[in-house]
Structure formats: C-alpha cells, structure tokens
Amino acid sequence: MEIFQWLTPQQSAGVMGDGERSVRVREEMADVLAYLLRLADVLDIDLEQALAEKIEKNRRKYPVHLARGNAVKYTQLGG
C-alpha cells in the first residue's frame, strides 16, 4: 500500500494513530477485501478452504522446530 511504501518501520507503526491516515488504511483494506471476495465468487473459490490448505502447506514447508525465529526460505532450513 502506498501509504506505507516510503515509511520506516517506526513511522509505519504510528500510522493508525493518525486519524486521517487510519481512515485511508481502513478504506484501502476494505477495497482489497471486496475485490478478493468478488474474485473468489466469480472463480468459485472457497476462501476458507484455500486458506486452510495454504496453512497446512506452510506448516509442512516450515516445521516449527526449524523455522521459529528464522526468516530464511524453506529450502535453506535444512533438517
């Protein structure tokens, strides 16, 4: 989102404390959600099922005992 594009992590953390900016963030997120829901409807995708499947896939790719505290790609986890 362009609201956060050039902000530092510290500045980003304060965005929701700014009344005008927080409204823009909420509206942008609502727009994204509306588009996603419409696309899922048109393509007949069950988003709840798709999310559950993706979480399971990530669970297998990133075992907790190897991935916790790591930001490396799954191919670099070893194990």
What is the reported pLDDT for 62? 86
Q: Which residues contact 8 (CB under 8 A, 6 or more apart)?
A: none
Look up residue 17 and give its DSSP letter: G
Q: Are residues 58 and 29 in the same domain?
A: no
What is the reported pLDDT for 66? 80
Residue 59 has pLDDT above 70, yes or no: yes
Separation between Cα atoms, residue 40 and residue 47, nearest integer Å: 7
Separation between Cα atoms, residue 28 and residue 40, nearest integer Å: 18
pLDDT in tens, 1-47: 788 889 898 888 888 888 888 899 999 999 999 999 999 999 999 99
Q: Which amino acid is at 1?
A: M
What is the reported pLDDT for 31? 95
- Residue bearing tokens 């297998």: 60
Q: Are residues 36 and 57 in the same domain?
A: no
Q: Are residues 15 and 39 in the same domain?
A: yes
Residue 54 has pLDDT above 80, yes or no: yes
Residue 79 has pLDDT above 70, yes or no: no
Q: Are residues 54 and 37 in the same domain?
A: no
